[in-house]
């Protein structure tokens, strides 16, 4: 993520990855404040064994796109809700990449943070039968919770 302040959003990614038993690391790497670290991080990602990068950032959210520019690994961008423009700035900064350098762009805020983890799980599950089963279980349990939930005040 681009800043310590993004952790309140990105913790939902980490928690979902943990729930699915997916090993991961959480780091602050800023496209603007630590650009050399960003280049090193993205450059060395494959060699260090990373398979998918989830990059959360807000405002002028260049982290996911710059990360994608430096690695062929899948990069999933989470637009963090900004205080000034509610995350629309983050979303537009991440989504409109030039042809040739894709970033998968999720929803603004908590939903996007959770879905980034689930999308990473889907990608990883293509080559991991155990994870595929855990992901299917996660989804069926979610469905059961929704079906079991009565609407408050309605029989
Ligand atoms: C972005 O600027 C970060 O991703 C963060 O969402 C935003 C604000 O950062 P702070 O000023 O809170 O550190 O680079």
pLDDT of residue 149: 82
The reply, when asked if residue 128 is annotated as ligand binding, is no
**3-state secondary structure at position 53:** strand
**What is the CATH topology of the domain spanning 4-148?**
Rossmann fold (3.40.50)
If you average pLDDT over residues 2-22, what whole number do you get?
98
Predicted complex: ipTM over 0.95: yes
Q: Tell me the pLDDT tens digit for each residue of 41-85.
A: 999 999 999 999 999 999 999 999 999 999 999 999 999 999 999
Domain boundaries, the chain: 4-148
Q: Tell me the pLDDT tens digit for each residue of 94-124.
A: 999 999 999 999 999 999 999 999 999 999 9
* CA 123 / ligand 1 centre spacing (Å): 28
154 confidence band (pLDDT: 50, 70, 90) = confident
**What is the overall mean pLDDT for the chain?**
97
pLDDT of residue 51: 98
- Rounded to whole angstroms, what are the CA distances from 130 to 16, 20, 114, 121, 133? 16, 10, 20, 11, 5
Percent of the chain scoring above 90 in pLDDT: 95
Ligand 1 closest atom vs CA 2: 4
User: Alpha-carbon dihedral of residues 82, 105, 125, 44, nearest 10 degrees?
Assistant: -80
* CA 154 / ligand 1 centre spacing (Å): 43
Q: 3-class secondary structure for 2-40?
A: CCHHHHHHHHHHHHHHHHCCCCCCCCCCCCCCCHHHHHH
């Amino acid at each position: 993520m681009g800043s310590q302040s993004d952790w309140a959003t990105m913790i939902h990614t980490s928690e979902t990855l943990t729930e699915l038993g997916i090993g991961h690391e959480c780091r602050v790497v800023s496209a603007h404040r630590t650009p050399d670290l960003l280049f090193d991080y993205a450059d060395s990602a494959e060699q260090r064994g990373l398979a998918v990068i989830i990059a959360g950032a807000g405002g002028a959210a260049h982290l996911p796109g710059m990360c994608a520019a430096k690695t062929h690994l899948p990069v999933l961008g989470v637009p963090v809700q900004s205080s000034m423009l509610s995350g629309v700035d983050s979303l537009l900064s991440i989504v409109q990449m030039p042809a040739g350098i894709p970033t998968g762009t999720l929803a603004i805020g908590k939903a996007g943070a959770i879905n980034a983890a689930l999308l990473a799980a889907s990608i990883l599950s293509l080559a991991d039968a155990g994870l595929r089963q855990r992901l299917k279980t996660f989804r069926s349990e979610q469905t059961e919770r929704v079906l079991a939930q009565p609407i408050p005040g309605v029989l």
